[in-house]
Amino acid sequence: MLIVWYYFSLPTPLFASETSTVLEDKQQKLLAAKIADDGQWRFPLTQEVPQKFIDCIIQFEDRGYYSHWGISPSAIARASIQNIKAKRTISGGSTITMQVIRMARKGQGRTFIEKIIELVLATRLEFGASKKEILSLYASNAPFGGNVVGIDAASWRYFGREPATLSWAEAATLAVLPNAPSLIYPGKNQERLLKKRNRLLDQLVSAKKIDKETCELSKQEPLPGKPHAIPQIASHLLHRAAQEKHSGQRIISTIDGHLQERVNTIIENHHSILKGNEIHNACALVLDVNSGEVLAYVGNTNNQGKPEYESDVDVITAPRSTGSILKPFLFANMLSDGELLASMLVPDIPTQIAGYAPQNYNQTFDGAVPAKRALARSLNIPAVRMLQSYGIEKFCYKLKKTGMTTLTFSADHYGLSIILGGAEGKLWDITGMYASMARTLNHYTSYNGKYDKNDFHPPYYTAQQKKNPELENESFIDAASIYLTFEAMVEVARPDEDAGWKKYTSASKVAWKTGTSFGYRDGWAIGITPNYVVGVWVGNADGEGRPGLVGIETAAPILFDIFSVLKPGKWFTPPYDEMEKVEICKQSGYRASDICEPNDSVWIQKSGLRTESCKYHRLIHLDANETYRVNSNCEDVTKMKHVSWFVLPPAMEWYYKSKNATYKELPPLRADCETEGLRGMEIIYPKQFSKIYVPVEIDGSMGKTIFQVAHRNANTSIYWHIDGVFVGTTQNIHQMGLTPDEGIHTLTLVDEEG
């Protein structure tokens, strides 16, 4: 029974005290630490006790440490004699092992019985643990004065450095403290502490651990002054890790400490400028693409002493309005689902969908724009129309599948405005989503044209066990569509959101996108290379908007400063196995039809073969001089010339022709071909050159005059313009209530035939 009791006599774990949460970088350098819940700076058990400290502690406390079994009879005998002579306890004769047991059993009185228990348990500890482990227990749990426990915390608090870098004088200072922790307090104690330290240094010379010169130099070193603050260079990640089940642990993160410090500096440099415009918060996240590991995590700016600016909030995990930052996901999914080619013209015309009228940032219309240009320029109207054709429901589903966790409402709740920032997203999710796409593209090449089904995953801040790839032939976004999306995002100079032409350069090619939320509350910038994805957010934590708070002006400069400190790398390898070279109509960007001319040979994603061919080239019939359109009613068929003509629908044409000088409108119909019966439409009211009156309503406001038009083709749409400005569309019944100002006006009506 005694043996059984002896075997189980030690509690596990030996030390149950709460510990500080400690965050380290991937080289195991301290990034930040949080005080333990009991108010002590007590770091978790250290495995690496510095050799200098070991030498000092053995010299000072227990010279026979490596030869005894936990107790030292000779030391006890010597101590007893000393104590009897002095008639009081001046020495305990305790070994380091016994002191570990004593520290673990804190709160026990110093009785004879307790001493016996300590002796027995010390031998038990020696049986169960190596000498090195016992030294770790000692170094991690010894008191060093005040609320400082353990060598790690002591080294940082008193010397501002990690324990491995301690000098002999510093190690000796710390070695004498556990025995008399109060000596660390300034005042008279300093002299006693200095004497103790220097005596130990002398002993180290006798024990041949240091030479005389080292000893003399060490004695010149001052004692520690005011305690240092524990480093806090990744404090938001520390607090996040503590909340995510890592409280009280030593967390070896994936952070690159050097990069973390540089990103901290970049954020603070920009913060000092931004706060001039009352913008107080910003955050940045740097991810390694292939592993998904977080390399830098700066959760907010530092507004010390100004709690109203909420520096403690980790904005990386805060849901914010996404502005335009999700547009590339729509583009990539439409490519992948065979609904779009990057070069295709998409309409950019006044648009009203169920009472919702999106506007471009600069309030102008291009008529028609290639989809990739619309993406690069972040045009809102093409994005909304593209989403309408793709489907909100499907888009929300894809966003969730890509890694967006904040879409808690139904697709209907968000509506089409989701593409312009109608939903909230976290920088954490969004940066991770872009990284997953880049990873899929990289792996497509390294896995010889296969996809790893686990490649879409959130970022990690602690190292994950490497999983074997589970290869599949398909992905819900194919590699070619991802590649073409990134290519569209690459331009380094672009007029974005009317902030003027901004030129950013980087040592490597970067795909990037900015975003600005409604009311200038959030500025976003995301940058992608094959190695890194960088996400930046700028704004106010309390949501206050500021004029000039646009992504391109506030977040993009931070983004490119961060890329300037990252290693430049190569660009993505084009995934040719997922691509096909096809003839594209140069004018429409659609797959070329038989009558398209000129054409381009272009690599498109394979699924793009499902897109329709050019619908804007039409075969028209001209007279011999090619100045008039004719038809068989007025011209001999043998005299006609059949010509292919690029014709945009009227509303698109109206705006397109003003921005594209090369656009040639259809030649007019020759007068004799325009018989009375063939005339397409007629204005019923008002008649040419007539005077109209706009009624005044009962409440005094201006009413509307009803304009009316008849059209030969009952189903056609008519596009209405007053003085060249588009005012609306009618279908079937061509009536429109208008309120023109006083004066002379021109009404222009265009039907689907142009």
Q: How many residues bind Zn ion (CB under 5 A)?
A: 5
Strand boundaries in 181-280, DSSP class E: 250-252
Least Å distance between CB 539 and Zn ion?
Answer: 44
At residue 283, what are phi and psi to the nearest 5 degrees?
-150, 160
C-beta of 101 vs 596, nearer to Zn ion: 596
Residue 216, phi then psi, degrees to nearest 5: -65, -45
CB of 596 to Zn ion, least distance (A): 3
> What is the residue whose two structure tokens read 């130990």?
200
Largest CA distance in the chain: 137
583 is catalytic: no
Strand partners, 287: 294, 533
Are the CB atoms for 678 and 638 separated by under 8 Å?
no
Query: Segment contacting Zn ion (CB under 5 A): 79-87, 200-208, 608-616, 632-640?
Result: 608-616
Taking the least distance from each CB to Zn ion, the nearer of 533 and 596 is 596
Q: Can residue 585 be called a binding residue for Zn ion (CB under 5 A)?
A: yes
Span interacting with Zn ion, options 412-420, 563-571, 610-618, 629-637, rule CB under 5 A: 610-618
Q: Which CA distances in Å does 191 have to 171, 197, 209?
A: 17, 10, 24
If binding is defined by CB under 5 A, does position 596 make contact with Zn ion?
yes
Residue 593 beta carbon to Zn ion: minimum distance, rounded to whole angstroms = 6
Residues 429, 425: Cα–Cα separation, whole Å? 7
When the beta carbons of 100 and 614 are compared against Zn ion, the nearer one is: 614
Catalytic residue among 20, 24, 61, 311: 61
Place of tokens 């710390």: 174
Closer residue to Zn ion (CB): 647 or 673: 647
Are the beta carbons of 116 and 148 closer than 8 angstroms?
no
Which is nearer to Zn ion, 600 or 672 (by Cβ)? Answer: 600
Return the residue of 49, 315, 602, 614 that touches Zn ion, per CB under 5 A.
614
Contacts of the segment 101-110: beta carbons below 8 A, 24+ positions apart: 101/125, 103/15, 103/138, 103/141, 103/142, 103/143, 104/11, 104/14, 104/15, 104/137, 104/141
Q: Quick one: which segment of 142-150, 402-410, 516-524, 609-617 binds Zn ion (CB under 5 A)? A: 609-617
List for the chain the helix, strand, coil content (%; round to 5).
Answer: 35, 20, 45
| Piece in contact with Zn ion (CB under 5 A), picked from 476-484, 564-572, 579-587, 678-686 | 579-587
Secondary structure, 3-state, 122-162:
HHHHHHHCCHHHHHHHHHHHCECCCCEECHHHHHHHHHCCC
Report the C-alpha gap between 102 and 96 in whole angstroms.
Answer: 10
Closest approach of Zn ion to the CB of residue 456, in Å? 37
The CA distances from residue 425 to 74, 241, 412, 413, 420, in Å, are 69, 20, 17, 15, 12
Tell me, residue by residue from 499 to 538, as one string, x for binding to Zn ion by CB under 5 A and - for no binding: ----------------------------------------
Q: How far apart are CA 643 and CA 640, in angstroms?
A: 9
Q: Which of 617, 629, 711, 734 binds Zn ion (CB under 5 A)?
A: 617
* Shortest reach from residue 623's CB to Zn ion, in Å: 23
The CB-of-344 to Zn ion minimum distance in angstroms stands at: 11
Judged by CB under 5 A, which stretch of 173-181, 427-435, 607-615, 711-719 contacts Zn ion? 607-615
CA-to-CA distance for 479 and 484, rounded, in angstroms? Answer: 9
Q: How far is the CB of 515 from Zn ion (least distance, A)?
A: 33
Of 325, 287, 256, 236, nearest in space to 432 by CA: 287
324 catalytic per annotation: yes
User: Candidates 126-134, 520-528, 534-542, 589-597 — which segment interacts with Zn ion by CB under 5 A?
Assistant: 589-597
Measured from the CB of residue 611, what is the shortest distance to Zn ion in angstroms? 13
Contact in structure between 49 and 162 (CB atoms under 8 Å): no
Contact 686, 650 (CB under 8 A): no
CB closer to Zn ion, 240 vs 617: 617
Count the Cβ atoms, other than its own, within 10 Å of residue 740: 17
Which is closer to Zn ion, CB of 583 or CB of 674?
583
Q: Which stretch binds Zn ion (CB under 5 A): 35-43, 57-65, 559-567, 596-604?
A: 596-604
3-state secondary structure 303-364: CCCCHHHCCCCCHHHCCEECCCCCHHHHHHHHHHCCCCCCCCEEEECCCCECCECCCCCCCC
Q: Is 14 in the site for Zn ion (CB under 5 A)?
A: no
We find the least distance from the C-beta atom of residue 460 to Zn ion, in angstroms, to be 48
Closest CB to Zn ion among residues 163, 649 = 649
> Is 385 a residue that touches Zn ion (CB under 5 A)?
no
Contacts of 678 (CB under 8 A, 6+ apart): 633, 712
Q: What angle do CA 460, 336, 324 make, to 5 degrees?
A: 65
Set 20, 72, 324, 481: catalytic member = 324
Q: Using the rule CB under 5 A, which residue among 19, 300, 588, 611 binds Zn ion?
A: 588
Nearer Cβ to Zn ion, position 155 or 588?
A: 588
Least CB distance to Zn ion at residue 365 (A)? 22
Q: Restricting to residues 28-47, which ones interact with Zn ion according to CB under 5 A? A: none
Residue among 320 and 617 whose Cβ is closer to Zn ion: 617
Can residue 579 be called a binding residue for Zn ion (CB under 5 A)? no
Amino acid at 663: Y
Catalytically active residues, by annotation? 61, 324
- Which positions lie near Zn ion, rule CB under 5 A? 585, 588, 596, 614, 617
